[in-house]
Amino acid sequence: MRTALLQSSGRPGSIAANLKVLDEAAGRAAAAGAGLLAAPEMFLTGYAIGDDIARLAEPADGDSADAVAELATRHGLALAYGYPERAGETVYNSAQLISADGTRLANYRKTHLFGCFERDHFTPGEQPVVQAELGGLTVGLMICYDVEFPENVRAHALAGTDLLLVPTAQMHPFQFVAESVVPVRAFENQMYVAYVNRVGQEGEFEFVGLSALAGPDGVARTRAGRGDELLLADVDPAFLAASREANPYLRDRRPGLYGSLI
């Protein structure tokens, strides 16, 4: 499945403007043969928007989800995107996957909140593994800081995730996560990892870009720089199967030795 990554911060504070950015990117991705387009963490609203997070937060099935579903059906590809989700009085940092026919396939709430900013504005989710079937692949969702916890990604590996989508707001000086940690996570868990970041200065944060789609061999199939980009790379089920057969990590685990770690 050809997979597109939209590295962009859009226009923080404007859902309408960000939907236009997503619309344009979806058109380009579909024209290039992509079956899936992934956008960054909090893409619909912007990340560093303070109290506007609560004001702009919507239910998972709200108006913005309907708008994204319309884009997906019009362009004929699945869309994954980050947004602030409202559930009653609670606000989560969430990511949603919508299929090419407009069906809401999966909604994930970030389980590991980073820093005071996120803890001040969000409640952590409690479900570490959220998956959906898409294009013959088992696709999982995670958000930014979550991928830095090996237990989180291993849980996806054990649940059969083939492609892990990680909408991200990765900031300076932690670019080594994009450059080194993400390919290692893909290798040690025998999956593809799509890590799609924001860019540039936003409030107090400087986002570093460097989005990538890493394969189960630990090699990035595509890697962005520090500006706005639309990346394209293929997720190959045959290569994944061969890699899993050759790499014994998951088969050679001894869970009985690890109990004290959890």
- Of residues 58, 85, 118, 144, which has the active-site annotation? 144
Is 41 an annotated catalytic residue? Answer: yes
Helical H segments across the chain, by residue range: 15-31, 52-56, 63-75, 115-121, 150-158, 176, 182-189, 237-246
Alpha-carbon distance 154 to 185, whole Å? Answer: 9
- Among 85, 76, 64, which Cα is nearest to 17's? 64
Residue-wise DSSP of 113-165: --HHHHHHH-PPPS---EEEEETTEEEEE--GGGGGSHHHHHHHHHTT-SEEE
Is 144 an annotated catalytic residue? Answer: yes
Q: Classify residue 47 as left (phi > 0), alpha (psi -120 to 50) or beta.
A: alpha
- Of residues 41, 58, 85, 202, which has the active-site annotation? 41
- Of residues 85, 110, 118, 202, which has the active-site annotation? 110
Among all residues, which ones are annotated catalytic? Answer: 41, 110, 144
